[in-house]
Structures are given as structure tokens and as C-alpha cells.
């Protein structure tokens, strides 16, 4: 009986791992789609301080372009 319990545990662990991997791939594909659409939300999720930096950087570029 102990061997059966061990096999069931290993199967449950394998299924859990596969489910988590599938979810991770789905989220990555979703993030890639958002980035292709121009959203920076996936980047913000990685680094909350990134969005203000991007916005301030784009403002500086806009000002530099207007000065020319």
C-alpha cells in the first residue's frame, strides 16, 4: 500500500507541476500579446517603478524634440 500511496503522490505532484507550467506559459503569452498591443502593464508588473521612469523619459524626449 505504501508504494501505491507514493505513486499517487508522485502523480499528483506531476499534475500540479504541469498545471503550473501551463498557467505560466498562458500568462507569458498574454503578456506578450499586451506588449504587442502597446501596453506596458506587463513591464509595470515586473517593476512598479518602471512606469514613472518611462513616462518621465518620454516627456524628456518630447521636450528635446520640441526644442529642435
**What is the predicted pLDDT for the residue at 45?**
86
40: Cβ–Cβ under 8 A, 6 or more apart, which residues? 50, 51, 54
Instruction: Say yes or no: 2 and 26 in one domain.
Output: yes
Domain that holds residue 47: 40-68
What confidence score (pLDDT) does residue 2 get? 93
Look-up of cell digits 504541469: 18
The answer to whether residues 33 and 1 belong to one domain is: yes
pTM over 0.85: no
User: What pLDDT is attached to residue 43?
Assistant: 83
Q: Are residues 30 and 4 in the same domain?
A: yes
Whether residue 56 sits in one domain with residue 26: no
Residue 59 has pLDDT above 80, yes or no: no
Amino acid at each position: 500500500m505504501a508504494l501505491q500511496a507514493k505513486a499517487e503522490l508522485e502523480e499528483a505532484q506531476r499534475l500540479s507541476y504541469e498545471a503550473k507550467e501551463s498557467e505560466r506559459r498562458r500568462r507569458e503569452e498574454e503578456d506578450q500579446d499586451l506588449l504587442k498591443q502597446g501596453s506596458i502593464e506587463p513591464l509595470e508588473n515586473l517593476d512598479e517603478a518602471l512606469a514613472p521612469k518611462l513616462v518621465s523619459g518620454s516627456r524628456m524626449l518630447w521636450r528635446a524634440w520640441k526644442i529642435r
